Structure 1
Amino acid sequence: MSVAIRATQVVDDQRLLDLLDAGERERAERRADPHPFVTAHALLRRLVADETGMDPRAIDFERRCATCGTDRHGKPHVVGMRDVHVSVSYGERMAVAAVTRLGEVGVDVEDLESADFDGFGSVTLDPTEAARLAHLHGDALLGVRAQLWSRKEAILKATGHGLVVDPSQVVVSAHDAPAELLEWKAAQHLPGPMQVSDLDVGRADHRAAVAVLTSRPLTVRLQRG
């Protein structure tokens, strides 16, 4: 069993709108810059279609929040295919999607610039993690920050908690070690064993990671395009 990952740069391509449903197009129209949203959701539809044999236009998604139960937000699920788990992440320049049958999945991509703010350590890192970064500066520091942040976001997407759980309570391995969840300090229940992997999305100014709720080792199939 594996995790299929697809990563792409955000594009302005009106043909991608034809893949989206009416609700997705409406959500895209409400955004000042719709291109990241459109790119990401078209990417997810194509990846699910390739993994399941479905028509990308015929796929129905629903959202469920694991914390409050609403369908107004939360991680996406493929309607009628409970064993197919999906996740999507995007920023201004990159989009990443993941599909697997191993278990609930979370994927995250971060621009180095997103980690460049005062107080990053206090809101994102456990003290043990912050101590490991004390000797880093400049782009090296931003790269490590973005890497750790992408791991934590991927984990919290996989569990369904999102930012209801403080990222500083999700302790991950050092940046120069294989990605791993070392400790879950949150009061909220961790649903099960977690496997984490860093992703090379082909851009030096981005970091990405995937996490899956499973005890089985991850085999990642990553396609960039």
Structure 2
Amino acid sequence: MSVVVGATPVVDDLRLHDLLDLLDAGERERAARKADPHPFVTAHALLRSLVAEETGADPRTLAFVKRCATCGTDRHGKPHVVGMRDVHVSVSYGEHLAVAAVTRLGEVGVDVEDLESADFDGFNAVTLDASEVAHLDGLHGDALLAARALTWARKEAILKATGHGLVVDPSQVVVSAPGEPAALVEWRAAQHPPGATQVGDVDVGAADHRAAVAVLTTRPLTVRVQRR
């Protein structure tokens, strides 16, 4: 079995109206509150399209709810497809690129990071466990930023899959070195560990972005990427 990950550039004004037509009233309201609605609209339209393709449903009739694993509220947290308990989804977006994931394997998290987002002096302190700092030794320039972005995407994907998000300190989620196959090496957080977790890197076809997906499952992970 596999996880399907869609990746697409954020749309311009010409396509924004068409994608808004796919969203429900709540999503359109949330988009209208954003300073730049384009990334949000692109990502949520992509998610609807992926779920529709995998299930045969009409993308316009799909309904989503959020549930926070930490506090239990429905005001934020992981998205879930109403009426499809065996379909697990996740979404992520930045200024230029959006990704979404759909699978029946288990709870899923996907994350995409722009290299520029990893370009700050305190990255190691806020993101890495001491054992991970050595993974970046000797790297400079874009190579360093790419390694940082990939490491961050792996951690964020795992924390989205577990539902914890950044309630858990990302430095407590130890992942494999950037040059090695993606994996959760150790969960050091106080929160209950997630159990079997499969992690995969995602080639989104953009040299200035890195992405990863994580699924809570014991089964081997096959990632099918759809670039749009």
TM-score with structure 1 length normalisation?
A: 0.99
1:183 corresponds to which of 166, 183, 186:
186
What amino acid sits opposite 1:21 in the alignment? D
Q: 1: CA distance between counterparts of 2:170 and 2:138?
A: 22
After TM superposition, where is structure 1 displaced by more than 4 Å over at least 4 residues in a row? Answer: none
User: Helix, strand or coil for the counterpart of 1:220?
Assistant: strand
Match of 1:127 among 127, 130, 143: 130
- 1:128: Cα distance to partner? 1.0
Give, in whole Å, the separation in 2 of the partners of 1:191 and 1:62.
Answer: 22
Matches within 5 A, 1:173-212: 173-212=176-215
Once the two structures are TM-superposed, the CA of residue 220 in structure 1 deviates from its matched residue by 1.0
CA shift digits 1:30-89 (9 cap, x unpaired): 011000000000000000000000000000000000000000000100001110000000
Q: Secondary structure at the match of 1:123?
A: helix
Number of positions where the alignment pairs a residue of Structure 1 with one of Structure 2:
225
CA distance in structure 1 between the partners assigned to 2:120 and 2:71 by the alignment: 30
Q: Identity across aligned pairs (percent)?
A: 79
1:171 aligns with 2:184: no
Tell me, in whole angstroms, the C-alpha distance in 1 between the residues paired with 2:139 and 2:130: 15
> Quick one: which of 26, 29, 32 aligns to 2:29?
26
* One-letter amino acid of the counterpart of residue 146, structure 2: G
User: Quick one: distance in 2 between partners of 1:20 and 1:192?
Assistant: 34
Classify the secondary structure of the residue corresponding to 2:161: helix
Query: Which of 89, 93, 98 is equivalent to 1:95?
Result: 98
- The equivalent residue for 1:5 is 5
Q: Distance in 2 between matches of 1:180 and 1:132?
A: 14
Question: Which of 104, 109, 113 matches 2:112?
Answer: 109
In the TM superposition, residue 134 of structure 1 has moved relative to its aligned partner by: 2.0
Q: In the alignment, is residue 40 of structure 1 matched against residue 46 of structure 2?
A: no
SS of equivalent residue, structure 2 residue 4: strand
Q: Does 1:151 align with 2:159?
A: no
TM-score (norm 2): 0.98
| CA RMSD between the two structures | 0.6
1:80 aligned to which of 78, 83, 107: 83
Q: Distance in 2 between matches of 1:69 and 1:190?
A: 18
> In structure 1, what is the Cα distance between the partners aligned to 2:74 and 2:192?
21
Decide which of 217, 222, 227 is 1:219's aligned counterpart: 222
Q: Unpaired segments of 5 or more residues in structure 1?
A: none
